[in-house]
A and B are shown apart, each in its own frame.
Chain A
């Protein structure tokens, strides 16, 4: 029996590495406004509106990386000091008390943006400025600014090219920094920015096709500038009707874009994304709806992880079936079954935990494990 448990632990660590079976653990959002200057007020308003929306739908501030290239609220030209509006009715101040800007002003560079995505930071960079996602994360990447054919302008000084973006996403995939990534871009010729993407699990949506401009929605004649872009405006209009419990699918979001209203054609790239869009709720990206795992006590569920790390992962694949059988044996009825299939990972942990609980002499198991390890080390070293 002990051996079986050990084998199962090894098998568990094997399952750890395969991406498809990883479950959705958390949600992140990276919101980027890339342009400076007063007349680009709307880009900051776009980003802040999205920030407000994802926050409302449940992504906490520590999981949102907000990059704003300029500070319109404190611009001397702003008739409403310290306030940013995305509508001429001035009902909603987007720059209220709880806005945490992670990268501001000249910090918003292509380099910093790529560092955030790939996680290659200098040591001094605080955790709040890092995208600390894992292989179970769903990430929303929203970008707005001035773009062109396969590029997006940053700060009027440099450009992010579609190759750079694709490369960063590929690195993220390699480093298992996401499970699913949704890239939403509101610029002119936004669709071209996705041309080079290859990594699986990426869903991309852009405000306009190649050769098309993205237009602003309306002008606020008190502030004297356009305050929101069309694509973002209609995206927000869609989300304003939703709350955190709604089951609206991505498909319904995509269908809500009317080319006549946008004055451009929204573009979706879905070939890298396996799930059927009609079945994916928008809150998978724009919110943070987590499955609650019931545990008897705090942190117990993770205790197995520590022992797991100690074990060498040389494991025959056929053990998997055994583990499946074990899992099946524990299923009491059909309703639970569907739920468990949704997250085999969690279920497996629970099972293991239960098994371990049943053991009376845990110490013996651990001792045995160490003995096996020593044995394996001896054999391997003597072979070498």
Chain B
């Protein structure tokens, strides 16, 4: 305050002296400098943003266990052969059942339930409806759905989950750990049965140990109806009990009324799946962590599992990666360049050892790309996503054994190691006193043991969007000058309100984007069965007609209106860029990965957008090139187009009209999972893209 006052006084003194120049503050000077040279800086910043994204794999840090209380691997495993034989027996019984019976009824569930209760657990069965999520525009961000039990349910199709609870002998019963094993009770695969065997082995141990402080719940879900839905149904029932007796409870022979049991708050959940045969020499453990909207479980949970799997049980641990990137030659070249730079830096100063081998870089980028993609998509990568909706840290572990499912001799060892891994993890989580909170929630993985934290990856995004406000400011100044020249009457020329016309146009198109976003809901309400292709055509035509109506109603919006009505394109572009900037920044808070990928697409498009007519008229190579670039970028930026291109990158070529159907299905999945990416596409990307189109065909 005091210094401010002094500054003012100084300024006053200066003006009193009559000196005409008041020196502005350094920050203002810097701002003016940046705005004045915005073209150069925007190129520099955008390039730096892309470069920062490319060097992210180099900046990845090794993961470490951040929470002291976890202490993974400090306790000796207590699994005995008796436990393993319990597990093997269950698997054998289930297999025998399949040999003698055809799958119907709830016999397998009862069998598992019997095993659980023999071990001393409280067992109950839960019936649920397989009905999936329905798109409802108001349900975005509204938290987990309350799947209200419908009154007029049919008993034709319903699933039955089995759950067993082991109470901690001396625990306070306030917390619990959930183990989930999806199992198809009708078709029952051999590999799936192995996951039951591992968990049963573990459960047999946990039923007799004295060190539990949290209750253990083993949930065998009915995976006939997908992996996700049964878990979600169980969680809903667990967290929001329904006091209305549903007809569903009386269906079939199993009466499950009033039997649902609970333990305390879920501290962590592990989903175990066994499938396929490992391609490697070791058993492979894949970790899936992404939940809806790019939410991740606490990094400590992944660390614990990874530590125990690698250092104790000798699994080969991997996370998803984009396989097609591994063979891409341009990425390899970049990796080699980085390697060479790293080596050079090391010769200059031995302390600078940031260089990594090109092969590692390639692996890291492929994993990072997959991590970014999964988070950006906003669709959970497994049943663990259902837990994230209740703020529970959960991951899916998919184990691929190296032996065929009927090999008896290997099975024993496999059960032992799998159960030991889970035992160690549970013992670590059991040691926790609070929720997971020490380690990161915002991160990208580049390998199971390397991560990039939010502080690092935000830099790439910040650099990418930094040019937007600069360019907006410089364009605004430019546009104002142009307007002052063009208007004859200086009294009309209210300088500060010039952007209002442009803002009206931007607002109109954003409103349109909002309506287009909501359209699928109404299209779904149209009676009759329609193929996704037809629906997408319906959507396309409605949207285009709405666009034409907007252009017709609001004069000045349209790129085809007369020059007199049209706003100055520079001011329009300035407001567009501002809107894009705000949209991207908001999105980066909700889902960083979406914002990052969106920015990669939207920032160059917005920056390059300029009227094509003057460029054609001038016939200068530079302006022609600029016009060509902006056209190309706009073509790529069209959501459907980008979808097709990314499909092509992932190796699935889609052409023709089926593309519409595919795109519709994709969008449907987005809103079904309540992905914010859908909102982003409809309410930020699409309007900005349309505005850039307006600028491209501006009649100036």
Q: Does A124 contact B (CB under 8 A)?
A: no
A residues less than 8 Å from B69 (CB atoms): 37-39
Contact among B210, B213, B427 for A81, CB-based, below 8 A: B210
Q: Pick out which of these stretches binds chain A: B38-46, B87-95, B167-175.
A: B167-175
A225 within 8 A of B: yes
Which segment of A215-223, A309-317, A332-340, A349-357 sits at the interface? A215-223
B209: nearest chain-A partner, CB-CB: A79
Interface: A78 (CB within 8 A):
yes
Query: Provided the pairs A37-B433, A39-B69 are in contact, do residues A224 and B170 lie with their beta carbons within 8 angstroms?
Result: no
Q: Does B211 contact A (CB under 8 A)?
A: yes
Which residues of B are found within 8 Å of A37, using beta-carbon distances? 69, 433
- The distance in angstroms between the C-alpha atoms of A79 and B171, with both chains bound, is 12
Report the separation of the CA atoms of residues A196 and B324 in the bound assembly, to the nearest whole angstrom: 65
Q: How far is the CA of A221 from the CA of B433 in the complex (A)?
A: 20
Answer whether residue B617 sits at the interface, using C-beta atoms and an 8 A cutoff: no
0/1 per residue, B140-170, Cβ < 8 Å to A?
0000000000000000000000000000111
Task: Report yes or no: B71 in contact with A221, Cβ–Cβ below 8 A.
Answer: no
A77 touches B211 (CB 8 A): yes
> For residues 210 through 254 of chain A, which have their beta carbon under 8 Å from a beta carbon of chain B?
219, 221-226
Residue B494, interface by CB 8 Å: no
Out of B171, B212, B431, name the residue touching A38 (CB < 8 Å): B431
Whether the pair A222, B431 counts as a contact (CB closer than 8 A) is no
For residue B348, CB closer than 8 A to chain A, the reply is: no
Question: Measured between C-beta atoms, what is the minimum distance from A228 to chain B in Å?
Answer: 14
Least Cβ–Cβ distance between B420 and chain A, in angstroms:
13
- In the bound complex, what is the Cα–Cα distance between A225 and B69 (angstroms)? 10
Docked Cα-Cα span, A79 to B75, in Å, equals 11
Tell me, yes or no, whether B68 is within 8 Å of chain A by CB: yes
In-complex Cβ contact of B75 among A74, A76, A80, A222 (8 A): A222
A78 to B212, CA, bound (A): 8
Q: Which residue of B lies closest to A75 (CB)?
A: B213
| Candidates B74, B169, B210, B433; contact of A219 at CB < 8 Å | B74
Contact A221 B74 (CB under 8 A): yes
A residues in contact with B211, CB < 8 Å: 76-79, 224
User: In the assembly, what is the distance between CA of A378 and CA of B433, in Å?
Assistant: 72
What 1/0 flags go to A62-87 for Cβ under 8 Å of B?
00000000000011111111000000
Give chain B nearest CB distance to A119 CB in angstroms: 35
Complex-state Cα separation, A249 to B584, whole angstroms: 73
What's the nearest-Cβ distance from chain A to residue B168, in Å?
A: 6
A270 to B208, CA, bound (A): 54
Decide if B210 touches A79 in the complex (CB within 8 Å).
yes
Does B76 sit at the interface, judged by CB under 8 A?
A: yes
In the bound complex, do residue A39 and residue B172 qualify as a contact, i.e. CB atoms below 8 Å apart? no
Among the interface residues B69, B168, B172, B212, which one has the most CB atoms of the partner chain A within 10 A? B69
Complex CA distance for A75 and B76, rounded to whole angstroms: 19
Taking residues whose C-beta sits less than 8 angstroms from the other chain, chain B's interface range is: 20 to 34
Nearest to A219 among chain B residues (CB) is B74
| Cα(A223)–Cα(B74), bound, Å | 9
* Whole-angstrom CA separation of A281 from B213 in the bound complex: 46
CA distance A224 to B75 in the complex (A): 4
The A-B contact count (CB < 8 A) is 49
B292 near A: Cβ within 8 Å?
Answer: no
Interface centre among A37, A39, A75, A76 (most CB of B within 10 A): A76
How far, in whole Å, are A79 and B74 apart by their CA atoms in the complex?
Answer: 13
- Expressed in whole angstroms, the Cα–Cα distance for A223 and B69 within the complex equals 14
Which of chain A's residues have a CB closer than 8 A to the CB of B170? 74, 76, 81
Q: Mark B49-85, 1 if CB is under 8 A from A, else 0.
A: 0000000000000000000110100111000000000
The answer to whether A77 touches B213, judged by C-beta atoms less than 8 angstroms apart, is yes
Is there a chain A Cβ closer than 8 Å to B430's Cβ? Answer: yes
- Tell me which of B68, B213, B427 contacts A76 (CB under 8 A): B213
What is the minimal beta-carbon distance from B205 to any residue of chain A, in angstroms?
A: 13
| Contacts known (A37-B433, A81-B210); A224 close to B172, Cβ less than 8 A | no
- A79 vs B212: C-alpha distance in the bound complex, in angstroms? 9
User: A33-47 CB contact bits vs B (8 Å, 1 = yes)?
Assistant: 000011100000000
Measured between beta carbons, the chain A residues less than 8 angstroms from B209 are 79
Q: Which residue of B lies closest to A38 (CB)?
A: B431
Query: Using Cβ atoms and an 8 Å threshold, which residues of chain B touch A221?
Result: 74-76
Interface pair A76/B171, CB less than 8 Å apart: yes
Across the interface, do B74 and A225 meet the contact criterion of CB distance under 8 Å? Answer: yes
Nearest Cβ distance between residue B169 and chain A, in whole angstroms?
Answer: 8
Chain B residues with CB below 8 A from A74, complex form: 170
Closest partner residue, chain A, to B70 (CB atom): A39
Given contacts A39-B68, A76-B171, whether A224 and B210 have CB atoms under 8 Å apart is no
Chain B residue contacts of A225, Cβ below 8 A: 71, 74
- The CA of A318 and the CA of B171, in the complex, are separated in Å by 72
Residues of B close to A76: CB separation below 8 A: 168-172, 211-213
B residues within 8 A CB of A79?
209-211
CB-defined contacts of B171 to chain A, threshold 8 Å: 76
B422 to chain A, nearest CB (A): 16
Whether the pair A224, B74 counts as a contact (CB closer than 8 A) is: yes
Residues of chain B within 8 A (CB-CB) of A38 are: 69, 431, 433
CB-nearest residue of chain A to B171: A76
Contact (Cβ within 8 A) A223 B75: yes
In the complex, A219→B71 CA distance in Å?
11
A80 to B209, CA, bound (A): 11
Query: Using Cβ atoms and an 8 Å threshold, which residues of chain A touch B71?
Result: 39, 224-225
What would 9 more interface pairs be, CB under 8 Å, given A38-B431, A224-B211, A226-B74? A38-B69, A78-B210, A79-B209, A80-B210, A81-B170, A219-B74, A221-B75, A222-B75, A225-B71
In the assembled complex, 20 residue pairs joining A and B whose CB atoms fall closer than 8 Å, in A order, are: A39-B69, A74-B170, A76-B168, A76-B169, A76-B170, A76-B171, A76-B172, A76-B212, A77-B212, A78-B211, A81-B170, A81-B210, A219-B74, A221-B74, A221-B75, A221-B76, A222-B75, A224-B71, A225-B74, A226-B74
Q: Lowest 10 CB-CB distances: which A-B pairs, in order?
A: A224-B75, A76-B213, A221-B76, A76-B170, A76-B171, A79-B211, A39-B69, A77-B213, A224-B74, A77-B211
Q: Which residues of A contact B (CB under 8 A)?
A: 37-39, 74-81, 219, 221-226
